[in-house]
Chains A and B, each alone.
Chain A
Amino acid sequence: EAGVTQFPSHSVIEKGQTVTLRCDPISGHDNLYWYRRVMGKEIKFLLHFVKESKQDESGMPNNRFLAERTGGTYSTLKVQPAELEDSGVYFCASSPRFPSGNTIYFGEGSWLTVV
């Protein structure tokens, strides 16, 4: 069974440009999450989808970040325009609708560097 896959694995963009990160959750997982780790800080929650619906986007930093999950399958996280402080690792994770043992599966992350 394929795990959570993220693309791109690494991205270097200039300040002011746009970047779109993609996440393919494990097939059949209704829950999809985005987390972020910036340098020197802990991993922080960004938002949670159940299928195509945003259940909680309380962790989104500001309106430069837009997450979508059309059709309830893959998800994209767009940063527009990117700022230097957006650099970090963006993790996507997924879990079944009612996760056994609260098991959440993380992808390998998308490293974003804004220069």
Chain B
Amino acid sequence: TQLLEQSPQFLSIQEGENLTVYCNSSSVFSSLQWYRQEPGEGPVLLVTVVTGGEVKKLKRLTFQFGDARKDSSLHITAAQPGDTGLYLCAGFSGGSNYKLTFGKGTLLTVNP
């Protein structure tokens, strides 16, 4: 069974601070996605990383896929209260492009 371990599970920071969320596995994923989920909503896709070592930027968010495609990180620069939410990593494996394995998520609270 493939598992994705996310850390930290909870993170509470002040507006303007930087943070990094980690997603680790002992398994290789063909691609990995990051989602953001707000209360009462479903997960919304932020980014997909495919190539080992790939770095993608989305405004203040930087996503990195590990060289071995077993881990990923999400870095947020100068966090804003609007960044508050549950961040989920999820991976496709075994050539599948539809079956996602999710991590448990990181609940981020950015205080004004």
User: A residues touching B (Cβ–Cβ < 8 Å)?
Assistant: 4, 31, 33, 35, 41-45, 48, 55-56, 91, 93, 95, 99, 101-109
Contact = CB atoms under 8 A, between A and B. Distances in A.
Top 6 closest pairs, chain A to chain B, by CB? A106-B42, A43-B102, A42-B102, A42-B104, A106-B43, A108-B42
A31 B35 CA distance: 19
B98 A104 contact: yes
Given A56-B98, A91-B42, A99-B97, 14 more contacts: A33-B98, A43-B88, A43-B100, A43-B102, A44-B102, A45-B101, A55-B98, A93-B42, A102-B48, A102-B97, A103-B45, A104-B100, A108-B40, A108-B42
B31 interface: yes
Size category of the B interface is 20 to 34
Contacts of B4: 42
Contacts of A105: 45
Contacts of A45: 99-101
Nearest to A106: B42
14 contacts: A4-B42, A42-B4, A42-B103, A42-B104, A42-B105, A45-B99, A48-B99, A55-B98, A91-B43, A101-B48, A102-B48, A103-B45, A104-B100, A108-B40
B104 A106 contact: no
A4 B43 CA distance: 12
A37 B83 CA distance: 22
B42 A41 contact: no
Contacts of A103: 45, 48
Interface in B91-112: 92, 97-105
B41 A108 contact: yes
A73 to B, nearest CB: 18
Contacts of A109: 42
A87 B45 CA distance: 25
B92 A102 contact: yes
Interface in B58-112: 88, 90, 92, 97-105
Contacts of B98: 31, 33, 48, 55-56, 95, 104
